[in-house]
Structure 1
């Protein structure tokens, strides 16, 4: 199994409290996900993130085909980081770390995703042709939306 990684770093012009409040609420995921993904939370207990929390979504990453994606919030360190892991969905492995580092004039937000695809050789081809670029576009969209929400004031 080939494991890939994707890392992004973004400066957020907000306090650590405001940044954490926004990103630790699953309700806000849809605000920073491209509409083309057809992202919809289908089961969620309406609480801010905590270890063991299960969140279910529908996503349409390719050709409008709806998929179920279930993630578990495995670790939460208040105002420092949290980790979500796929329990069911399109990846063989999905491990997403979200780090928040307060700095003098805001927060440095770092995302580190490790992922693997099913189907061996076919999965490696799909990553090269589609998945890697799709993830890049999703994180670029997220950066743009975060800039609109926090950095345009």
Structure 2
């Protein structure tokens, strides 16, 4: 098992990315704030996020098998079972040869029509935020190109799709 770093055109906000999950049994959307530093910021003030702040990304996962959301946060990352493999905060990673996928195959093996190859398209992704860690086993993900500018509007848009 190993960790592979994934680079996207954005950086996860290190302060308050406010990850939000919207899902039904077929699709899952992960919405969060990305780094958007004001070039005139002098470092002496703190900006408290509101749902009207701009600078979000929406990630769509198709055909997911399972997801986890919660602990550890960035300060307890060394307690994550995959930390020793190079897990990093504020990043997106893929777990190669995932034990979690092997567990899902084993759980499903009692199904009368089970075939291991049905799980061959699944990948294990980790989106590590400031206060939360999001892990998912899915066939992949895509970045929504037509997302709204702020969290409130994007949640409304995605809710209509589900």
Return the structure number with greater strand share.
1
Instruction: Indicate the structure (1 or 2) with the bigger Cα radius of gyration.
Output: 2
Where on the TM-score scale, by shorter chain, does this alignment land: which range? 0.3 to 0.5
Return the structure number with greater helix share.
1
